Chain A
Amino acid sequence: MKTIEEAVITALKENTSWDGEIKMEQTLRDELGIDSFGVLMIINTLEDEFGIEISNEDIEGLGTVADIINRLNEILSVNA
């Protein structure tokens, strides 16, 4: 299985038109141009990858790439 960081970066690349390097501190909307449906697509890809369910509340307040990784870490540690 991919590491969380690898999975997030793959999901970002798969679901957005961004083809440059992805850095942790990059903001999803302003820097990577990801809208709310884009975030949902990334989350849905990650759900599939890790076999988990991520609720709408879990997605709230995600601003940067690092935020997604941190939130995913939290969810996976609760599920572990």
Chain B
Amino acid sequence: MNLQQFYQRFNVDYELVRKAGFNPYYPVIESGLDDIIIVEGKKFIDLASNNYLGLANDIRLKDAGKLAIEKYGMSLCATPIASGYSELYDMVRHKLSEFVGLENTILYPSCYQANNGLFNVIAGREDIAIIDRCSHSSLIEGVKSAGCKIWPFRHNDMTHLEKGLKISQKYRQAYVITESVFSTEGTIVPFNEIVALCDKYGALPVIDDSHGIGVIGKTGRGILEHADIKDYNGIYTASLGKSLANSGGMISGKKEIIDFLKYYSSHLVYSTSIIPSSLAGIDAILDIIDKEFPERSKKMWHYTKLICDTLIELDYKVSNSSTAITSIKSGNPLETLQLTRKIFDRGILVTPFIYPSVQYNEGRIRLIAGANLTQPTLDKALKAFRNIND
């Protein structure tokens, strides 16, 4: 045993980047999310961030953040169970419960942490996690850490899910785990059917609404509103860093489970509290969504449709999206990076996904147009796609 050997194990494989002559990951952003953003000294149109409603750089959010910093400073430097639980935290978690229509909520510093820490509290070796095979890494790693039986079902395939539920009867508890809007594909879950199947077999549904909250539903309240589900008896999680334009992760559901997590979820109990400026920003954005959702979402859907229609017209293979995510099926990882390079060269920032974000040897390029973009900027982006090979 020696440390030289230890460090030799950690060699990043840059083969793909060498072949593509380009590395799209960790671009250095030098501005806030305006109509035009600055990336490594150059102007870009942002089709990469999850700033769906375009509020991340809104003056009202920034002012709310500033006021919270004035009052509480940058951090309470403590975990929530100790002295990191402010009146602001208390108020915002209840406001979020009301927003999504659930009994109670607890806030983690991120949704990755929330999803990652949830299952080792609620599930054990006697249980089975029936999980959509396209689920986010945070959910996958979360169920793996619980040590339960893992039964992935084919993406959004209800017949396959029911097969898992039939098998699940010999376990103590089955969990059906899925996302509302799938982050790489932009597909949407048939959640009514899932909830009905869970009811039939006594399983507990767990939904990650990170790309649904503030995006879908008549008033932007996410998947439960979208699917018109009342009296949801499962668990709901969402990132507060996408449409809600701040940072943090929520877990909501019945009072019993949230109270339990408050005391037994190590990812919450032993981690410094979500910072005051984020809490104030979430408080502010929920009020803005109440008033401005119709207008902002209209713009977002209009842009999404324009992007989708243009790409289809240009013969791109676009995944079957009924959400605000447009996802290009970009071929293998090398082809994905090559196309990404062309798009970046035209001054458009997008998100390329390769394994393990998508299945092995596949690739996706995701485009999200926030409501902060102006029509001329979007037109410019569409024109760039038309001329991509010139």
Task: Tell me the residues in window 8-63 of chain A with beta carbons closer than 8 Å to chain B beta carbons.
Answer: 15, 17, 29, 33-35, 37-38, 40-41, 44, 48
- CB < 8 Å A-B pair total: 31
Contact A37 B360 (CB under 8 A): no
Closest A residue, CB atoms, query B170: A53
Contact B140 A29 (CB under 8 A): no
Interface size band for B: 10 to 19
Residues of B within 8 A of A38 (CB): 133, 359-360
Contact A40 B152 (CB under 8 A): yes
Contact A35 B151 (CB under 8 A): no
Contact B151 A37 (CB under 8 A): no
Contact A48 B152 (CB under 8 A): no
B22 within 8 A of A: no
Residues of B within 8 A of A48 (CB): 163, 167
B377 within 8 A of A: no
How far is it, in angstroms, between the C-alpha of A28 and the C-alpha of B154 when the chains are bound? 18
Contact A41 B133 (CB under 8 A): yes
B356 within 8 A of A: yes
What is the size, in residues, of chain A's interface with B at 8 Å between Cβ atoms?
12
Q: Contacting B361 at CB < 8 Å: which of A33, A40, A41, A44?
A: A33
How far is it, in angstroms, between the C-alpha of A33 and the C-alpha of B355 when the chains are bound? 10
Report the minimum CB–CB distance from A32 to chain B (whole Å).
9
Contact A34 B360 (CB under 8 A): yes
| Residue from B133, B152, B163, B355 having most chain A Cβ neighbours under 10 A | B152
How far is it, in angstroms, between the C-alpha of A13 and the C-alpha of B151 when the chains are bound? 17
Task: Tell me the residues in window 190-239 of chain B with beta carbons closer than 8 Å to chain A beta carbons.
Answer: none
Query: Known contacts A41-B133, A48-B167; is A35 also within 8 Å of B359 by CB?
Result: yes
Q: Contacting A37 at CB < 8 Å: which of B152, B167, B362?
A: B152
Contact A41 B152 (CB under 8 A): yes
Q: Contacting B151 at CB < 8 Å: which of A29, A33, A34, A40?
A: A40
Query: Known contacts A44-B151, A48-B167; is A37 also within 8 Å of B133 by CB?
Result: yes
Report the minimum CB–CB distance from B134 to chain A (whole Å).
9
How far is it, in angstroms, between the C-alpha of A48 and the C-alpha of B167 when the chains are bound? 8
How far is it, in angstroms, between the C-alpha of A17 and the C-alpha of B133 when the chains are bound? 13
| Residue from A37, A38, A41, A48 having most chain B Cβ neighbours under 10 A | A37
- Please give the residue numbers on chain A whose beta carbons come within 8 Å of chain B beta carbons, in ascending order: 15, 17, 29, 33-35, 37-38, 40-41, 44, 48
Query: Can you report 10 residue pairs joining A to B where beta carbons are below 8 Å apart?
Result: A33-B361, A35-B356, A38-B360, A40-B151, A40-B152, A41-B133, A41-B154, A44-B152, A48-B163, A48-B167
